[in-house]
Structure formats: structure tokens, C-alpha cells
Amino acid sequence: MKVYFEQITIDGIDVDTAFEFDDFSSHITVENFNGKLYPIKNAYFLDGNVVFSVEDKCDRCAETFKKQFSERIQVEIVRNKINEEDEEEEIELSEEDLSYYTIIEDFIDIDEIVKEEVALLKPIKWLCSESCKGICPGCGADLNKEKCRCQGASVDPRFEILKKLKK
């Protein structure tokens, strides 16, 4: 969803969008983003709620599952007109520059901003459930579905000497 700067009135503009995208191994569906884009001082402010679901593999058992989230997004957007002379010049960003989106086009791509924010909201550790037991490193059994098939506690023969240290 593209919103041109000329469309944004002093009272703001309502934005509503939905889309899907892939992020590394995840498939993310933005089921609904409903918000408002309005001008503030020399910038713009996007405020809204996003409902999205993520389909990915569990980090412990490798089973694919889907989970839904609902979060609030609030971002500041700054319009930056670049001269042709400035295009080739390298600019170092400060810590303050990372707290808002800089737009050089004549429009704001709402989908792109929501996509980046959702990617940041996605959990780092992805578990199908808090009680997920994972996969046995010895036999590869999914411990959520079956018992371990390992034949006792087999120790690598190179580590046998370490048993003596315990005594």
C-alpha cells in the first residue's frame, strides 16, 4: 500500500492493509494492519495495530507450526529529499538516525514498513510449545511423540579417561 505525501491531510489518513511474505525459513501472513498516518512537525507518524501469523519450524523438534500475534506499531517517518550530488556521498548514521524511517521517494510504502516491523517482532527462539522436549541427539527420536531409542548411555571411547577424574 503506497500513500503519497499529497494524500496525507492535517487530520491524517487511515491505512488498512494485508499481505504475505517469506522471511528466511518463515512464512509470515499479515492478516490485518489497521492504523493512522498523520503529520507531526517535520515528519509523519504511523500508529496502528497489526495481526500477523508466522509459520515456521520449531527450534527444538523441527516440526512446522503456525502461531498468531497481535502487536501495536508506532514509527516515525522522515521525508528526505536527496540531491543528485548527495547520492554518491557516503553518510554515517548516528544512533538517533536508527529510530525512524527515512523516505526518499514521493510516497510511503506502508507494506514495507509493516514488513520490517513484523520481522523485528517475530520471536528469536521459535518453539511449538514451552514444554517441547525436542529431538534426542543420540537416536534422533522426536521426544514429544516417542521414547528415546538409545541403548543405554553410550559414551564416546575418547572420553572414557574422563571417568577416572570423577573418582
> So where are the chain's domains?
2-121, 133-167
| Cell numbers given for 86 | 548527495
The yes-or-no verdict on residue 26 having pLDDT over 60 is yes
Q: What confidence score (pLDDT) does residue 98 get?
A: 53
**What's the half-sphere exposure (Cβ side, CA atoms, 13 Å) at 46?**
24
**Pair 130, 123: CB distance under 8 Å:** no
Q: What confidence score (pLDDT) does residue 31 get?
A: 95
DSSP 8-state assignment for residue 92: P
Nearest to 54 by CA among 77, 81, 20: 20
The yes-or-no verdict on residue 81 having pLDDT over 60 is no
Q: How far is CA 162 from the centre of its chain?
A: 44
If one compares 6 and 112, the residue with the highest pLDDT of the two is: 112
Please report, as a single letter, which amino acid is at residue 146: E
User: What's the rounded mean pLDDT across residues 19-38?
Assistant: 91
The yes-or-no verdict on residue 93 having pLDDT over 80 is no
pLDDT tens for residues 111-157?
999 999 998 888 888 898 889 999 988 788 888 998 888 765 566 77
Model confidence band, residue 94 (pLDDT cutoffs 50, 70, 90)? low
pLDDT tens for residues 30-56?
999 999 999 988 889 999 999 999 999
Nearest to 13 by CA among 72, 99, 77: 77
Q: What confidence score (pLDDT) does residue 157 get?
A: 77
The pLDDT > 70 percentage for the chain reads 84
Put simply, whether the predicted model's pTM sits higher than 0.75 gets the answer no
